Structure 1
């Protein structure tokens, strides 16, 4: 499969790639996307600063500009994500492949680190990623862990899950802890009921994956948390990526590794 950014962005802009981006463009940093009117941008910026595990900021755009000048200056956030979600007053009202008809001159975009970024490092360390193996979207769950509120924004943490053999869990923790800008180390290991997940085979976002005998579910803070926040806080308008359908930046994963 071709994986050049030019080819990938062309496929996305032409609506030829509308599926999850896990495993796509290995080595390049993927990002979650949140777009809000300028009047709510400060509160959300504060929310990100207070919840850096869930919402590690990579870039904030100028109001009205769809161009992420620091992370992908030739890209356009209106077209270069496979699927977007439109929330109005906390309700998901539409899923679209372009924001052209939704764009407003007061919109501010937030790019937030994504755990897909450290998956390349996990694979390089010989650890398999189940949702990539099974060609599914990563499973994501709304937990019972409240985020630190900020202004109008409040709600619970969302986590993504990857199962590993028990002998590999420590290595997965070591590898991902090198990437604090893209969620870093896990927030919970095993015993999903302790964080409010009663049915691990029924994720709130994404797809269920196989958990094999002897495997332990490992949970990372997830950039889909703002979608949980949208449902709780009910802003008049919030635009996000569809879960698993990320924006791919020009940045290399290695730029976000601390080692």
Structure 2
């Protein structure tokens, strides 16, 4: 389906992870912060480009973006509302929570390169199983900026050991949507103590002969919100992304 058709379904109440939706179109993470924090977040993103590659920034109070011809308050499957760093609600429609002083950022998402992984013969387990991608807080701290700080969040996909070089090669061509993995192998090196209990998303099977591969994740801004406790913020529910009108190829390098 087209991004417009998918957004209409989400606006009508469909709440599902968006991995595999609208092949060929870029997906994005959402973080909306009060104007007084907008510069801090831009600086945070500049200092942490692997986890926070900014694709678009809306004007203060605006609910549209140049790469999404829809409504940022209604056209994602689910939203998370944060107050003082605490998750206050998860909703399918953010209109009653939206404020005129919010600045919305769309941040690159690794779902964008999953089609290229599949095309190259690298399996994507959460698509196979119809589940949400597993995501983990790590022990690696992002570079702080202003009032924002927090841990790197990663997504994980198990890859057959012989296909890991191909997974690295394919994803390295998409630096605007996290690019190459940040870690391959032992989860403990990232401070992950139980690979079967992700902090966000759902666990997936890691089969014999497969290696866990970790990519920087656009839930990192929400981890910074939780760690830094600003007065208010809105994000997407992890895995429930903004499906934009931009094409994946716009973010691919030769």
TM-score, normalising length: structure 1: 0.97
Task: Report the equivalent of 1:53.
Answer: 50
Q: Distance in 2 between matches of 1:140 and 1:155?
A: 15
Task: Report the equivalent of 1:191.
Answer: 186
- CA drift at 1:5: 2.0
Task: Report the equivalent of 1:112.
Answer: 107
- Specify every segment of 5 or more residues in structure 1 that has no aligned partner in the other structure, as ranges: none
Task: Report the equivalent of 1:71.
Answer: 67
Task: Report the equivalent of 2:129.
Answer: 134
Q: Distance in 2 between matches of 1:206 and 1:6?
A: 25
Candidates 30, 33, 48, aligned match of 2:30: 33
- CA drift at 1:230: 1.1
Q: Distance in 2 between matches of 1:41 and 1:76?
A: 20
Residues 123-179 of structure 1: CA deviation (Å, up to 9, x unaligned) = 111111000001110000000000000000001100000001100000000000000
Q: Distance in 2 between matches of 1:155 and 1:104?
A: 24
Q: Secondary structure at the match of 2:94?
A: coil
Candidates 154, 157, 165, aligned match of 1:162: 157
Q: Distance in 1 between matches of 2:188 and 2:3?
A: 40
Greater displacement, 173-182 / 102-111: 102-111
Candidates 1, 10, 19, aligned match of 1:12: 10
Give structure 1 regions of 4+ aligned residues with deviation exceeding 4 angstroms.
Answer: none
Q: Distance in 2 between matches of 1:86 and 1:6?
A: 24
Q: Distance in 2 between matches of 1:29 and 1:64?
A: 23
- CA drift at 1:6: 2.5
Q: Distance in 1 between matches of 2:37 and 2:93?
A: 22
Q: Distance in 1 between matches of 2:47 and 2:88?
A: 28
- CA drift at 1:9: 1.4
Candidates 150, 174, 178, aligned match of 1:179: 174
Task: Report the equivalent of 2:97.
Answer: 102
Residues 82-108 of structure 1: CA deviation (Å, up to 9, x unaligned) = 000001111001000111111211110
Task: Report the equivalent of 1:231.
Answer: 226
Candidates 82, 91, 104, aligned match of 1:87: 82
1:153 aligns with 2:148: yes
- CA drift at 1:238: 1.0
Q: Distance in 2 between matches of 1:51 and 1:42?
A: 14
1:195-234 equivalent positions in 2, closer than 5 A: 195-234=190-229
**Equivalent residues, number:** 254
